[in-house]
């Protein structure tokens, strides 16, 4: 039996980059109202005409002051305003469908998976757990241009045109992705709701790898990570896409590059939004997912190129396991919270819903937020390889973590608490950091994290935490709480 809890608390903080509060200048509000008015009057879905005034205004008012303000009269953006377009293929659907089904909510999420040919008997009747399918138009039959080098890529970019023609109602955003992309849809809604859907927006992110961005473009949204196009942008693009494809389809291009080129011609630049993950990486991405940037997690891609994200699970099971945490609290999913525990000299780093690390040392946040480079780049070349700093895994017992991965997600018996538990992947196999005293974490088997059920992370922007550890016990408890004003880690 356990001894009476002799609990030591130590405090720490978690800081999430809060969005800068945009000053709502009077002239911006007025121009916004004008735009909205013009949009309502002239920008009718059925009789769409290119409306260059929008573009003119967009250039006039810099994005920092005008783009993130929703039109006052519009209702908040919710999931029903998003239509997803998934680029699929019959040859790979057998495996990839699991990744789409992991996040798809039948009868709730709207959208389609676009296939290169009609489904074979094996997939009929079509599973209600998958998005409904559509078959892309045949690029070769369309004869857009005799010199198209990669019809497969043209098929994918034309999905934007084909999904628009399906004429879904009340669409604010088209979100395009691949069949091996996994979304956190609640976070995606939160992210898109911050932008004005009545303006032309191209929102996404580039690759983790410098080389991928160098080869294509740093300012290009990588489609596997997923990107969002506002309705007015798609409406403007649709009529011009085929002629633009003719212009850009001849070289060694991808669908993403064609889209980027076409949008550049229209004067629309990428709005970088972090949290989408192209994952142009190989191997074990646990280092990256354990030190995820402090921004809502939106997507994960290339599941088949990386090792399963959880040890001892296959790829579909791994993704479904992560989704258990996603269902409980997306706002905290993969968000890093760090606590220091003075009496043991431990640092705990929790990537909520995914992993927990114990370091036998007090380590600063700016060190822990750098991912352990457990993964390989898309292409091996001279550094710099990645768009972010990393730290190299090493055998220094004061820098190498004891690693624990998500085991369970449950409602606590305590009111308003979710309990996530994390169990040790394998023994660390290193000496103790400190030779004096008893600071070893070798005996630790599980970390149990209590987090709020009802207070989403974005409400406060950060979590602080306390560590409860009883010497000799093989479970450590971490309790998330609201930070004290201006609390800092000491």
Q: What is the length of the chain?
A: 490
Going by DSSP bridges, is the β-strand pair 336-341/346-351 parallel, antiparallel, or unpaired?
antiparallel
- Smallest gap from Cβ 397 to ligand NAG, in A, equals 9
- Smallest gap from Cβ 13 to ligand NAG, in A, equals 18
- Smallest gap from Cβ 28 to ligand NAG, in A, equals 23
Cβ proximity to ligand NAG, 66 vs 344, nearer residue? 344
- Smallest gap from Cβ 252 to ligand NAG, in A, equals 42
Cβ proximity to ligand NAG, 7 vs 25, nearer residue? 7
- Smallest gap from Cβ 235 to ligand NAG, in A, equals 18
Cβ proximity to ligand NAG, 21 vs 169, nearer residue? 169
- Smallest gap from Cβ 437 to ligand NAG, in A, equals 5
Return the closest-CA partner of residue 355 out of 446, 281, 282.
446
- In this structure, what token pair is assigned to residue 162? 């084909």
- Smallest gap from Cβ 441 to ligand NAG, in A, equals 8
Cβ proximity to ligand NAG, 369 vs 428, nearer residue? 428
Cβ proximity to ligand NAG, 252 vs 435, nearer residue? 435
Return the closest-CA partner of residue 304 out of 316, 313, 292, 320.
316
Cβ proximity to ligand NAG, 197 vs 301, nearer residue? 197
Q: Which residues contact 436 (CB under 8 A, 6 or more apart)?
A: none
Cβ proximity to ligand NAG, 187 vs 255, nearer residue? 187
**Cβ atoms of residues 357 and 401 within 8 Å:** yes
- Smallest gap from Cβ 442 to ligand NAG, in A, equals 6
Cβ proximity to ligand NAG, 279 vs 467, nearer residue? 467
Question: CB burial class (10 A; 0-12, 13-18, 19+) of residue 94?
Answer: exposed
- Smallest gap from Cβ 490 to ligand NAG, in A, equals 12
* Cα 349–chain centre separation: 20
**Cβ atoms of residues 99 and 309 within 8 Å:** no
- Smallest gap from Cβ 161 to ligand NAG, in A, equals 25
Cβ proximity to ligand NAG, 239 vs 431, nearer residue? 431
- Smallest gap from Cβ 57 to ligand NAG, in A, equals 24
Cβ proximity to ligand NAG, 395 vs 411, nearer residue? 411
Residues interacting with ligand NAG, by CB under 6 A? 75, 78, 80, 106-107, 128, 345, 361-362, 410-411, 431-432, 434, 437-440, 442-443, 445, 453, 471-472, 474
Cβ proximity to ligand NAG, 305 vs 345, nearer residue? 345
Return the closest-CA partner of residue 256 out of 209, 281, 221, 211.
221
Going by DSSP bridges, is the β-strand pair 375-377/355-359 parallel, antiparallel, or unpaired?
unpaired
Distance CA 146, CA 199 (A): 35
Cβ proximity to ligand NAG, 193 vs 238, nearer residue? 193
């Amino acid at each position: 039996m356990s001894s009476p809890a002799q609990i030591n608390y130590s405090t720490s903080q978690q800081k999430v980059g809060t969005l800068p509060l945009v000053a709502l200048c009077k002239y911006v509000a007025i121009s916004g109202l004008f735009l909205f008015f013009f949009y309502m009057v002239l920008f009718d879905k059925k009789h769409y005409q290119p409306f260059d005034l929008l573009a003119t205004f967009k250039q006039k008012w810099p994005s920092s002051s005008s783009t993130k303000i929703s039109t006052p009269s519009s209702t908040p953006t919710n999931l029903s305003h998003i239509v997803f377009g998934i680029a699929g293929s019959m040859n790979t659907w057998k495996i990839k469908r699991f990744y789409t089904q992991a996040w798809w909510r039948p009868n709730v999420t709207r959208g389609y998976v676009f296939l290169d040919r009609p489904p074979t008997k094996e997939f009929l009747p079509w599973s209600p757990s998958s998005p409904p399918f559509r078959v892309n138009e045949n690029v070769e039959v369309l004869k857009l241009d005799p010199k198209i080098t990669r019809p497969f890529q043209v098929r994918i970019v034309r999905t934007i045109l084909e999904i628009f023609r399906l004429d879904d109602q009340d669409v604010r955003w088209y979100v395009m992705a691949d069949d091996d992309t996994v979304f956190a849809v609640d976070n995606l809604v939160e992210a898109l709701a911050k932008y004005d859907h009545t303006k032309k927006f191209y929102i996404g992110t580039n690759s983790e790898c410098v080389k991928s961005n160098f080869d294509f473009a740093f300012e290009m949204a990588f489609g596997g990570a997923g990107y969002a196009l506002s309705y007015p942008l798609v409406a403007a693009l649709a009529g011009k896409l085929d002629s633009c494809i003719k212009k850009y389809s001849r070289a060694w291009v991808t669908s993403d590059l064609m889209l980027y080129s076409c949008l550049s011609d229209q004067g629309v630049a990428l709005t970088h939004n972090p949290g989408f993950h192209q994952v142009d990486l190989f191997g074990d991405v646990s280092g990256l997912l354990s030190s995820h940037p402090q921004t809502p997690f939106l997507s994960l891609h290339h599941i088949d190129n990386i090792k399963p994200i959880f040890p001892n699970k296959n790829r579909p099971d791994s993704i479904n396991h992560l989704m258990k945490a996603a269902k409980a609290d997306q706002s905290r999913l993969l968000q890093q919270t760090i606590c220091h525990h003075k009496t043991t000299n431990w640092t705990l780093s929790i990537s909520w819903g995914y992993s927990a690390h114990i370091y036998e040392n007090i380590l600063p946040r700016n060190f822990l937020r750098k991912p352990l480079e457990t993964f390989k780049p898309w292409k091996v070349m001279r550094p710099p390889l990645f768009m972010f700093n990393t730290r190299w895994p090493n055998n220094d017992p004061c820098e190498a973590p004891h690693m624990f991965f998500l085991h369970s997600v449950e409602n606590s018996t305590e009111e308003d608490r979710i309990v996530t538990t994390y169990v040790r992947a394998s023994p660390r196999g290193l000496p103790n950091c400190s030779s004096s005293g008893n600071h070893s974490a070798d005996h630790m088997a599980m970390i149990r994290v209590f987090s709020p059920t009802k207070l989403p992370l974005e409400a406060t922007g950060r979590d602080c935490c306390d560590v409860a550890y009883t010497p000799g016990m093989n479970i450590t408890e971490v309790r998330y709480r609201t930070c004290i004003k201006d609390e800092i880690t000491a």
